[in-house]
Amino acid sequence: MQKTEITELILSCLRGNLEAAGPLPAEPLTVETRLLGRSAVLDSLGLVQLLVDVELQLDSAHGIVVTLADERAMSQKHSPFRSVGTLSDYIDTLIQEDPSHARA
């Protein structure tokens, strides 16, 4: 799975979650979009829902099984969940580290 596909998948899930909750934010959703902190487009429960949706989509659409909220993610000084881009980077790393997820 290519990095751009991962980012698109995250953005698609994020868009779906935000639309379900109300109108989309005025700013376009990009790799810079914050998922954590004061300028985040989601609240904490929204982030949980996003991570669950991303996990499900990775599995159902690409057959990739990962646990995003793993020990490493939780112990990092800078959370990999802080933006769309960092989440995409983290998923790319998890996929590359697991030989069963070799790039097609």
Neighbour count for residue 3 (Cβ, 10 Å): 15
Beta bridge partners of 34: 83
Site membership for other proteins, residue 98 (CB under 8 A):
no
Binding mask 51-70 for other proteins (x = CB under 8 A): -x--xx--xx----x-x---
Q: Which of helix, strand or coil describes residue 42?
A: coil
Q: Which is nearer to other proteins, 16 or 85 (CB)?
A: 16
Task: Check: CB of residue 13 under 8 Å from CB of residue 53.
Answer: yes
Site membership for other proteins, residue 76 (CB under 8 A):
no
Task: Check: CB of residue 32 under 8 Å from CB of residue 84.
Answer: yes
Binding mask 24-53 for other proteins (x = CB under 8 A): ---------------------x---x--x-
Give min distance, CB of 16 to other proteins, in A. Answer: 12
If residue 1 lies in a helix (H) or strand (E), which one and from where to where? none
